[in-house]
Structure 1
Amino acid sequence: MNTPKAPPPIVTAQGASGSTHIRSFVHRRAHITPSQEQAIAQWLQQWAIRYQNAPLDLSAAFGRAAPTILEIGFGMGETTQQIAQARPGDNFLGVEVFNAGVGALLKRIHDNELGNIRIIQHDAVEVLRDMIRPGSLAGAHIYFPDPWPKKRHHKRRLIQPAFVELLVSRLAPGAYLHCATDWEHYAQQMLAVLSAESGLQNTCADYAPRPDYRPLTKFENRGLRLGHGVWDLIFTRRTPDGVASATEAN
């Protein structure tokens, strides 16, 4: 009988590159299932990219040149999988810090034979700053980030002016930024912060209808049945000549 190989080391945001920014996540001892652990052991090296303090060659990472969408905080990967399946012509780079989510998405990639997803298990701010070249992304998804509901924790929310400025610098002209939240106060903060960023233009007067490409998750469906609201925001990066992109025109 073959002796199973030891799983590869899991790359997390701990021990990162000395950054002093306030993190939007806290490492907790979270439950991870045996199937998620097995997925990490078997497929992490195939589908994950190790954090490095150097620009990433996206074409080499995916084995092809295609529009690349960054997803920050993909959770269990349900939405990532469905969007990647529906849009096979796009590349999807998912950034997540928690082992259970990484294992869950790796299993989805394997089970559904998806070749257009890659994972970086690291702090999204440092990934954007160090690995993503300016103007290289066709879009970015930030779905249901931790709302940090207590007022004293609002400083930990991901959508802050400095972060948005960094993210916008990595978007190509005309590329889109799509955020969604089920916390009304956070939605209001998102709208204010994104609207104040000079490099962005809102595609709607304020909040956007949920686009067809973003599927409803089980948790979102449950919240909607209970009467909870969900707010989508879709902005595009302004083009140098100020001409609206196709997304904005629609």
Structure 2
Amino acid sequence: MENQDQPRLRSVVSYVKRGGRMTVGQQRAWDELWPRLGRTVTDLTPGPVDFGAWFGRAAPVLLEIGSGMGETTSQLAAAAPELNYVAAEVYEPGLGQLMLRAEKLGLENLRLMHGDAVILLTEHVEPGTLDGVRLFFPDPWPKKKHHKRRIVQPAFVALVASRLKPGGTFHLATDWENYAEQMREVCSGEPALRNRHAAEPGGWAPRPDWRPVTKFEQRADVEGRESHDLIFEKR
């Protein structure tokens, strides 16, 4: 399944493995809901995931990388019932909370992946099959010496682009100015992608009304930081 021409990305861990105990409700979600809603990346059988079989229907597949505590993800999935919405996250309490939100909203179009999205994309997603990938407010690694740990690097963007269908979108957002600039530069340098909003000032995408305001954006506003969206399309 792995493309031998695709640079391997496992040598850099781009996320923080956060600890934290689960609440009683989150643990219940893992016990009762995970067998139906979730899978662990390292436990997947070799080869591509059959998303149609997992969701029980054929529908466009969208992957969100880093769903956090799930508030925004659950709202986005609820607002797009026509999508097979897959959320990848490493933080177990966050996945537990997202399952609770999905249960409360009665979501049928949401599935969860626990583990590294790079491994998921590299080993378990076929090229040219995703309708969209979303990366909202990834770990910014603000210190310059840590910028190499940021997930948005040329090899990662090439991997994402290879998994998108023609016309599929890679939507990024961050509240760190220099990371936004890095995202724009790296994605603009990927030949398989084009900036949908290249004609806009700075090449930034207008903030979509459908994307809920996250806690990161709220904090950024208080701290005087501006959030930026970028939307790139597979050629």
Query: TM-score scaled by structure 2?
Result: 0.90
The question of 1:202 aligning with 2:195 is answered yes
The answer (yes or no) to whether the contact 2:70–2:98 under 8 Å persists in 1 is yes
Match of 1:139 among 129, 132, 138: 132
Percent identity between the aligned chains? 48
Per-residue CA shift, 1:119-177, capped at 9, x if unaligned? Answer: 01010100000111111100010000000111121111010000110110000000011
Q: Which amino acid aligns with 1:183?
A: W
Match in the other structure for 2:24 = 34
Per-residue CA shift, 1:182-206, capped at 9, x if unaligned? Answer: 1111001000000000000001121
- Write out aligned runs for 1:182-197 (5 A): 182-197=175-190
Return closer, same or farther for 1:109/1:201 CA change in 2, 3 Å cut-off.
same
Match of 1:47 among 19, 37, 40: 37
The question of 1:22 aligning with 2:19 is answered no
The answer (yes or no) to whether the contact 2:167–2:233 under 8 Å persists in 1 is yes
Quote the offset at 1:225 in angstroms: 4.5
The question of 1:230 aligning with 2:222 is answered no
Match of 1:211 among 208, 211, 230: 208
Secondary structure, counterpart of 2:40 in structure 1: coil
- Write out aligned runs for 1:75-90 (5 A): 75-90=68-83
Match in the other structure for 1:244 = none
The answer (yes or no) to whether the contact 2:175–2:227 under 8 Å persists in 1 is yes
Quote the offset at 1:98 in angstroms: 0.7
The question of 1:123 aligning with 2:120 is answered no
Query: TM-score scaled by structure 1?
Result: 0.84
Return closer, same or farther for 1:219/1:163 CA change in 2, 3 Å cut-off.
closer
Select the structure of larger CA radius of gyration.
Answer: 1
Aligned CA RMSD, in angstroms, stands at 1.5
Return closer, same or farther for 1:48/1:153 CA change in 2, 3 Å cut-off.
same
How many residues are paired up?
A: 221
Q: State the 4+ residue runs in structure 1 displaced beyond 6 angstroms.
A: none
Quote the offset at 1:22 in angstroms: 0.7
Q: Which runs of 5 or more residues in structure 1 are unaligned?
A: 1-17, 239-250
Q: Which runs of 5 or more residues in structure 2 are unaligned?
A: 1-7
Secondary structure, counterpart of 2:112 in structure 1: strand
